[in-house]
Amino acid sequence: MTAPNAATARPATGPLSHLGRIIAVASGKGGVGKSTVTANLAVTLAQRGLRVGLVDADLYGPSIPGMLGIVTDAPPAMSRQGKVTPAEAHGVKVISMGMLTGDDNPAILRGPMVTKYLQMFITQVAWGELDILLLDLPPGTGDTQLTLAQSFPLTGAVVVSTPQDVSLKIARRGLRMLEKVKVPILGIVENMSGFTCPSCGEVTHIFHQGGASKIAATLDVPFLGAIPLDPAIVDSGDNGVPLAVIAPDSPAARAYGRIADTLMGDMAQTPGLQVPFDWHLDAGTGKPAPVSVEPRSATDRPLALDFGVTGLVIRWSAWTQTIDPRELRLACNCAACRDEVSGKRLLNPASVPLDVVPTRIWSVGNYAFGVAFSDGHDSGIYPLATLRGIESAEAEDV
């Protein structure tokens, strides 16, 4: 496959378009080599001429600086615009909590601070113009994953697993979580796939064989490739020089190259409104532009938003939906309107004014809209599936 140039790797427009494609690298559990895969993929993409940024989003256990040989004995500088200047190594721009705390100081953070740092790492860093921004996520399905999915328009996610059964089962959970928040799954990588004896050439499958490809086929997501075990991967990571740099012709480095080429050749964005957006209806600002090119096939993302005397108008690929403003308000499922445990409705319909209207609508990642109303309520998040399920005041095929 021919490696694409920088132009083919960029989104069209949007407030974060200077970051290029934003791809998360995730794993269901720790110890599968996710950060090693991320570091080598970042370097491999940079070797192909792309402008690459890397966010070490594992705030509690940052490892990317060590793998790339970044010195963390002094805090990063600030640009003239008041943004953090990222470190750069092997052609990759990097930000990590390890650069702020040093090697020996732990990051002791509650949930809100995790959110603050993650947002800072993406929006308050002087990245310049990038073609791709990789996010090295911590293992699991917690605050970090949800914050990034809700706050930023992720192009997609790569899930790393070993062939080991327990790792694959947990990887399935991670895949399901990402699907629920509408993060496209770009594919599964099987790491530590097999060990080739350097003396005799015999391959030993220490953690079984082919499990990730079977999971990918079962879940109907791409299998990106298998990376063999290689002691040089460990040594290179410890020395701060990735395998893709010191042994570009090794079997593992060639596997990284194939995965990088596959990713860059299969990153067309799902047709839909450009996100993020923040539409202030009362001020008449920030309204998202409708999709200019109609998708060739049906999509579950809105193609246009409008608001008029009939209510909120959402144009989907196969139909147009009009939602009465008060019905939209009554459909809110936030913790103030519905009990999270029992599902019991807490909102009294009589308390909602008949003339209530939305005053602001904003995107929440790729999977939902946030809505603020004229009655002061602003904590509701409406997944796109929920919006499609609200009974329309008027609906017509298009």
Q: Is residue 272 part of a domain?
A: no
pLDDT mean over 319-338: 92
Show the domain range for 69: 6-265
> According to the model, what pLDDT value does residue 149 have?
81
- Provide the percentage of residues in the chain whose pLDDT is more than 70: 84
Residues 213 and 348 in one domain: no
Residues 314 and 188 in one domain: no
Indicate the residue type of 272: G
Q: Is residue 319 part of a domain?
A: yes
- The rounded distance, in Å, linking the Cα atoms of 17 and 269 is 13
- The rounded distance, in Å, linking the Cα atoms of 260 and 279 is 36
Residues 111 and 30 in one domain: yes
Tell if the pTM clears 0.85, that is, is over it.
no
- Residue 7 DSSP class: G
pLDDT mean over 168-178: 76
pLDDT mean over 221-235: 85
CATH code at 356? 3.30.2020.30
Residues 346 and 231 in one domain: no
> According to the model, what pLDDT value does residue 10 have?
41
- The rounded distance, in Å, linking the Cα atoms of 175 and 290 is 30
Cα 59 to chain centroid, rounded: 16
Q: Is residue 249 part of a domain?
A: yes
> According to the model, what pLDDT value does residue 297 have?
64
Residue 232 has pLDDT above 90, yes or no: no
> According to the model, what pLDDT value does residue 58 have?
86
Among 265, 299, 317, where does a domain finish? 265
- Crossing angle of helices 143-151 and 165-180, in 10° steps, is 30
Among 200, 233, 265, where does a domain finish? 265
Residues composing the chain:
398
Cα 203 to chain centroid, rounded: 35
Residues 209 and 355 in one domain: no
> According to the model, what pLDDT value does residue 1 have?
34
- The rounded distance, in Å, linking the Cα atoms of 159 and 190 is 9
**With bands split at pLDDT 50, 70 and 90, how would you rate the model's confidence at 209?**
low
Residues 202 and 328 in one domain: no
Q: Is residue 273 part of a domain?
A: no
Number of domains in the chain: 2
Residue 70 has pLDDT above 60, yes or no: yes
Q: Is residue 218 part of a domain?
A: yes
- The rounded distance, in Å, linking the Cα atoms of 287 and 304 is 10
Helices assigned H by DSSP within 48-154: 64-68, 98-101, 111-123, 143-151
Residues 227 and 342 in one domain: no
Q: Is residue 31 part of a domain?
A: yes
Q: Is residue 80 part of a domain?
A: yes
